């Protein structure tokens, strides 16, 4: 019985941290953005190592997700990372030349956007023109209000029906320089800055009393007037 207990503890001690590590790694920010229509990319092609014949183009991805390239015609690039496009174009060019050096860079993330909602001064959606962190996003939204619960910020990512929730400790990032949760945002991310418990309570009673606000003000005014009259 003792041996089984020890074995169980050992297995648990190995498997649980491994699972937690895998989950943590799955939440790590990805710096490689998936291209979208409206993004601008620069493509450089050097055929057969001949720099004199190099071709350079800066192209905006069309609404259908494609760009037009020499020899290849229309090529689907939306939905892929720049590295994937690089490999795909290199592979397609093998039908026309023995080798090709292809470089794909993003010059503008025109097709990317993110959202910041909750306790910020200017909530809404923003263009993701360059890689930015969640702290940058909150600051660009006017900063958090005094009612924000900074260590309970969340990034909602992926399919709205089954999203990935990433927790962000914004207070630790701002006040203590702990950047472990200062993730880079991806296309369509939603940054949620929640209210503190006290703020939620205040909002609740404010909404609860809203229909009677004018009546309460009138009663208080009448009581004040009566007080001064009786004096």
DSSP 41: E
Over the stretch 119-160, which tens digit does the pLDDT of each residue have? 999 999 998 877 899 999 999 999 999 889 999 999 999 888
Indicate the length of the chain as a whole number.
231
Other C-beta atoms closer than 10 Å to the C-beta of 37 total 16
Which secondary structure element, helix H or strand E, spans residue 222, and what is its range? Answer: helix 213-230
In sequence order, the 6+-apart residues with CB closer than 8 A to the CB of 81 are 32, 33, 34, 35
- Which residues in 77-107 are b (16+ Cβ under 10 Å) and which e? bbebbbeebbebbbebbeeeeeebbbebebe
- pTM for this entry: 0.56
Does 29 have pLDDT greater than 50? no
pLDDT at residue number 165: 94
Do 79 and 35 form a contact (C-beta atoms < 8 A)?
A: yes
Distance of alpha carbon 22 from the chain centroid? 20
Q: What is the mean pLDDT of residues 11-33?
A: 47
The pLDDT assigned to 104 comes to 92
């Amino acid at each position: 019985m003792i041996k089984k207990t020890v074995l169980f503890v050992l297995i648990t001690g190995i498997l649980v941290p491994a699972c937690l590590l895998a989950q943590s790694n799955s939440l790590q920010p990805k710096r490689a953005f998936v291209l979208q229509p409206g993004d601008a990319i620069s493509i450089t092609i050097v055929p057969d190592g001949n720099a004199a014949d190099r071709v350079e183009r800066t192209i905006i991805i069309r609404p259908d997700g494609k760009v037009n390239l020499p020899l290849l015609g229309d090529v689907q690039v939306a939905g892929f990372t720049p590295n994937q496009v690089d490999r795909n174009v290199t592979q397609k060019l093998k039908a026309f030349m023995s080798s090709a050096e292809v470089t794909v860079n993003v010059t503008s993330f025109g097709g990317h956007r993110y959202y910041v909602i909750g306790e910020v001064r200017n909530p809404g959606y923003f263009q993701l023109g360059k890689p930015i962190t969640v702290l940058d996003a909150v600051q660009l939204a006017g900063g958090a209000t005094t009612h924000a619960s900074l260590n309970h910020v969340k990034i909602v990512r992926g399919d709205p029906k089954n999203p990935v929730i990433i927790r962000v400790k914004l207070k630790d990032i701002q006040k203590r320089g702990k950047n472990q949760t200062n993730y880079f945002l991806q296309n369509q991310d939603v940054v949620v800055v929640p209210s503190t418990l006290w703020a939620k309570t205040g909002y609740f009673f404010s909404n609860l009393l809203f229909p009677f606000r004018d009546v309460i003000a009138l009663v208080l005014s009448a009581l004040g007037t009566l007080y001064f009259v009786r004096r």
